[in-house]
Amino acid sequence: MGNTHPYTVLAVDDNLLNLKLIERALSKEGYQIFIADNGSDARSIALEKRPDLILLDIEMPGESGFDVIKKLKEDAATNAIPVLFLTGVSEVDAKLKGFDLGAVDYITKPFHPQEVLARVRIHLKLSIATNSLIQDQAAKLRQVTKAQAAMLPLPEEHPHAKFGVYYKALQEAGGDYYDILNISGKITGYFVADFSGHDIETSYMTASVKALLAQNCTPVYSPTESMKMINDVLVEILPQGKYLTACYMHINRITMKLTIVNAGHPPVVCLPVKGEPFLIKSDGDVCGMFSDAHFGMESLHVSKGDRFFIYSDGLVESAEDKITWASGADSLLPVYKTLRDVPYDRAPEEMISQLFGNNACPEDDVVLLCIEV
């Protein structure tokens, strides 16, 4: 709604006299009025014109007002339009049914035009205030989203790290996080985490984790020591019940040694230059919950061109299909095999496309890294 255009009201009633009374009373006060004498036309007008408010008669031949509002509320394009019922019915049950279906108020027939005007004004004011609050909250969440996204490194910023990434948060405050650590010229750390919860508090925790990674992922500490120090701090600062699963992969491209530290996270997938893809499984406790946590650790020698995939559980889990990452990780190994000839920086997008189609819509946040040695 903007103050440079008249507010619009859709009046729906099979009684043409009532429509004329409403149109006359509201139009002379500056409102633009649309009218319909049946439910089908009312829904079509509501969809096309998107009025600021609807006055809807309950008792009409064909579609009743109850039928109309139910369909309006089921449509994302019209479900936010406030609806006031016009009713000659005095039974409390009928009025309660209207409220249950989403009406914000009702006007009893026969009505006085000034009462209609007063109620329209009141509910437009409430609608304006609600929309303003929604827009304000949305703006704040967009700021959080931008700040969170700004902390995620891009492949072009770290060409020596040789990685590609797919990242998608289903809500404004995503629970998945990744980072790239330039430990030295030929040593790189790759960190993927999945926070419990998807709230604003979670988005602020990512900043803390990024700072901890920068402080503790250095040549001075082994990968396991780095994860232990990060965990000790998170145990102290995370709110009760908050934790994260995490995988920290450390590649030394001089010694060609790879180390994986796992904190309750899905297993890393290895796609060797020669051979079949396989899972690198290493059980470990989640991070940030136990001061004496034990993390899984695996080390192996790698060859130039070997690829490794680190991901969050949103890639493999499905609540709808009752698939956990423990079972889902194995089932995707044939898909990784098809990525062998796909450039590493495009491999994550190709993987998502194969799993979810072009209109990718996983059930949870997803982060997927493809790293090439």
Q: Please tell me the distance from the alpha carbon of residue 89 to that of residue 173, in angstroms, as a whole number.
A: 46
CB 241 within 8 A of CB 201: no
Same domain, 193 and 327: yes
Are 100 and 185 contained in the same domain? no
Q: pLDDT, tens digit, for every residue of 304-358? A: 999 999 999 888 766 565 556 666 788 889 999 999 999 999 999 999 999 887 6
Of the three residues 85, 111, 143, the one that is the final residue of a domain is 143
Do the Cβ atoms of 86 and 111 come closer than 8 Å? yes
Q: Is the pLDDT of residue 146 over 70?
A: no
Residue where one domain finishes, among candidates 143, 161, 180: 143
* 77 & 177 share domain: no
The mean pLDDT value for 143-155 works out to 67
Q: How far apart are CA 18 and CA 14, in angstroms?
A: 8
Q: Is 1 inside any structural domain?
A: no
Same domain, 93 and 185: no
Residues 175 and 139 grouped into a single domain = no
What CATH number should be reported for the domain holding residue 196?
3.60.40.10
Same domain, 90 and 155: no
**pLDDT(177) > 90:** no
What's the token pair of residue 279?
Answer: 């899972």
CA 66/CA 12 separation, integer angstroms:
12
Residues 191 and 285 grouped into a single domain: yes
Mean pLDDT to the nearest integer, 81-94: 84
DSSP assignments along 241-277, one per residue: T--EEEEEEEEETTTTEEEEEEESPPPEEEE-SSS--
Q: By percentage, how much of the chain surpasses pLDDT 90?
A: 58
Are 85 and 185 members of one domain?
A: no
Confidence of residue 364 (pLDDT cuts 50, 70, 90): low
**Is 3 a member of any domain?**
no
As a whole number of angstroms, the distance between CA 202 and CA 144 comes to 11
Which of 106, 126, 143 terminates a domain? The answer is 143
Task: For residue 25, name the pLDDT band (cuts at 50, 70, 90).
Answer: very high
Q: What is the DSSP string of 272-308?
A: -SSS--EEE----PPBSS-TT---EEEEEE--TT-EE
- Render pLDDT for 47-78 as a digit per residue (tens, 0 to 9): 999 999 999 999 898 899 999 999 999 998 89
* Overall number of domains in the chain: 2
Whether 270 is in a domain gets the answer yes
The token pair that represents 125 in the structure block: 């004011």
pLDDT in tens, 279-318: 998 889 999 999 889 999 999 999 999 999 999 988 876 6
Per the domain annotation, does 77 fall within a domain?
Answer: yes
Evaluate whether residue 2 is within a structural domain: no
Residues 18 and 161 in one domain: no
Question: Which range marks the domain in which residue 28 is found?
Answer: 8-143
Indicate whether 89 and 32 sit together in one domain: yes
- Same-domain status, 271 and 336: yes
CA separation for the pair 79, 83 (Å, rounded):
10
Q: Residue 197: what pLDDT?
A: 63
CATH code assigned at 16: 3.40.50.2300
Residue pair 105/73 in contact (Cβ under 8 Å)? The answer is no
102 in the same domain as 196: no
Question: For residue 297, is it within any domain?
Answer: yes
Q: DSSP letter at 314?
A: G
Task: Give how far Cα 279 sits from Cα of 242, 298, 352, Å.
Answer: 28, 11, 19
Q: What is the DSSP letter of 54?
A: E
